[in-house]
Amino acid sequence: MQFVVQMRPRLSVSSCTARPSVWFGHLSTKNRGWGVRTLQRIPRGSFVVEYVGEVVTFEEAERRGLEYDRQAQTYLFDLDLDGEPVYSVDARDYGNIAHFLNHSCSPNLTIRCVYTQCIDKDLPLLALFAAEPIPKGAELTFDYQMSGAISAEQQQQQQQLGADDASESAAENASVVSSSVGGASSVNGGGLARMRCLCGSANCRRFLFD
């Protein structure tokens, strides 16, 4: 799903009603690094924040992804709305509060592509909206995979990993993985494909896959 926002020629700054109006606070989690919490109640469907960063080509994102994999962290977000991505957003060095949003298999935020002044279909803005009413003080999360579907191959990987030693990787302490609008990231090489999910939700998928 995507939204198109038309700008009226005579719309003044003071009359704009689409401003971000959510107050955020940082949250230190037990095993997922920093997170973000809301300092106010957020109604369902409200715009919360834009995921911003450095826009790079997909090829450059792949190159950076290999380096990020070795660090067990990455902030790459593929803009692959219509199939193969042309660009990616890298929020590691440039970004906003969304840089600290953690993953959850039961997220309270959902992401949508938004077009405003730029109408290039390969360069949408990434807007996060409240997927449900969010109470004051709650941690804000979204699904890094953007899809609840897991392929048969991924399910087999999960079963195999479930039999492995739970302490096999330091990646358990990482809080961010490569994300994708289309559902499955293709930025990562393979270093984070076995990353254990620590969201703790009732329907946790147990592992994050690229």
Tokens of 174: 């990482």
CATH assignment at residue 151: 2.170.270.10
Per-residue pLDDT reduced to its tens digit, 99-142: 899 889 999 999 888 888 887 888 888 899 999 999 999 999 99
Domain that holds residue 177: 20-208
With respect to residue 70, please indicate whether it lies within any of the assigned structural domains.
yes
Number of domains in the chain: 1
With respect to residue 119, please indicate whether it lies within any of the assigned structural domains.
yes
34-38, 50-54, 114-118, range with the lowest pLDDT: 114-118
With respect to residue 66, please indicate whether it lies within any of the assigned structural domains.
yes
With respect to residue 4, please indicate whether it lies within any of the assigned structural domains.
no
Q: Which of 51, 68, 75, 87 is labelled catalytic?
A: 51
With respect to residue 7, please indicate whether it lies within any of the assigned structural domains.
no
Burial state string for 23-54 with b = 16 or more CB within 10 A and e = fewer than 16: ebeebeeeebbebbebeeebeeeebbbbbbbb
pLDDT(176) > 70: no
With respect to residue 132, please indicate whether it lies within any of the assigned structural domains.
yes
User: What average pLDDT does the segment 82-109 reach?
Assistant: 88
With respect to residue 13, please indicate whether it lies within any of the assigned structural domains.
no
With respect to residue 82, please indicate whether it lies within any of the assigned structural domains.
yes
Q: Which of 68, 75, 87, 144 is labelled catalytic?
A: 144
Tokens of 89: 């957003």
Does the active-site annotation cover 94? Answer: no
Does the active-site annotation cover 144? Answer: yes
